[in-house]
């Protein structure tokens, strides 16, 4: 085995690869407020969004969070982030539609909630806005997609927005700069494990 030859081949392959990577990095030279959509049935949408909240706070940015579906009020992220300076935390939704069982009230709650979001989307001091589980009020028709898209478009040019939730509507996916669909390959819940602190809540 000629290891000198092998090492040389590796070196030239890595040089070619570095040239490609460097060119790609050099080509992405703009700054812009991004719209991220995290959807799909797999676990990791909200926790990814809150990971970005931590990142933004670490950079001294101010962050707005709106939660549209209030399944529980004992999540670790709420307990932690609400206490942090620079976080503007709003719970705008109630339970799921099969919990509230009142369409008129669901619509009113969602619309009131969106008015709060609109203020955040008009506030250039917020570097990041997370709209957690926004896909549900859209899916159930409590909020108009066109209104939501127009307000997102009108936000400050350097403000990032992260939207989470299953079943993101097509128009929202099209508007996204970064779109991630998480796939559910396996979930411990189906093997009978209930939601675990630090992992699921
Ligand atoms: P997480 O908040 O853990 O990132 P998520 O935001 O991707 O999850 P949601 O649809 O908002 O997922 O559901 C929130 C809760 O449901 C979490 O406890 C999560 O672990 C659990 N969950 C997520 N995906 C699944 C799944 N495919 N099957 C069962 N439970 C799930
Ligand atoms: Mg979620």
Ligand 2 is a single-atom ion; what residues have CB below 5 A from it?
45-46
Is residue 152 exposed (0-12), middle (13-18) or buried (19+ Cβ within 10 Å)? buried
The helix (H) or strand (E) run that includes residue 171 is helix 170-175
Question: For the chain (length 201 residues), average pLDDT per consecutive 10?
Answer: 84 94 90 98 98 98 92 86 96 71 85 96 98 95 96 98 98 98 96 95 94
**pLDDT score recorded for residue 100:** 66
**pLDDT score recorded for residue 95:** 64
pTM, two decimal places: 0.90
Distance 201 CA to ligand 2 centre (A): 10
Distance 137 CA to ligand 2 centre (A): 14
**pLDDT score recorded for residue 1:** 57
**pLDDT score recorded for residue 147:** 97
């Amino acid at each position: 085995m000629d290891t000198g030859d092998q090492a040389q081949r590796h070196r030239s392959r890595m040089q070619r690869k570095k040239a490609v990577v460097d060119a790609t990095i050099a080509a992405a030279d703009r700054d812009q407020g991004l719209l991220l959509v995290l959807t799909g049935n797999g676990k990791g949408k909200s926790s990814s969004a809150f990971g970005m909240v931590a990142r933004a706070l670490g950079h001294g940015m101010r962050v707005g969070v709106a939660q549209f579906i209030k399944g529980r009020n004992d999540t670790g992220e709420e307990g932690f982030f609400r206490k942090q300076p620079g976080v503007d935390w709003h719970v705008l939704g109630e339970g799921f539609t099969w919990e509230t069982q009142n369409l008129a009230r669901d619509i009113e709650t969602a619309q009131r909630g969106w008015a709060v979001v609109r203020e955040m989307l008009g506030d250039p001091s917020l570097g990041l806005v997370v709209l957690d589980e926004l896909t549900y009020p859209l899916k159930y028709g409590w909020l108009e997609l066109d209104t939501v898209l127009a307000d997102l478009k009108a936000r400050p040019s350097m403000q990032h927005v992260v939207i989470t939730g299953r079943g993101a509507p097509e128009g929202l996916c099209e508007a996204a700069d970064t779109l991630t669909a998480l796939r559910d390959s396996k979930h411990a819940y189906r093997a009978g494990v209930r939601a675990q602190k630090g992992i699921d809540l």
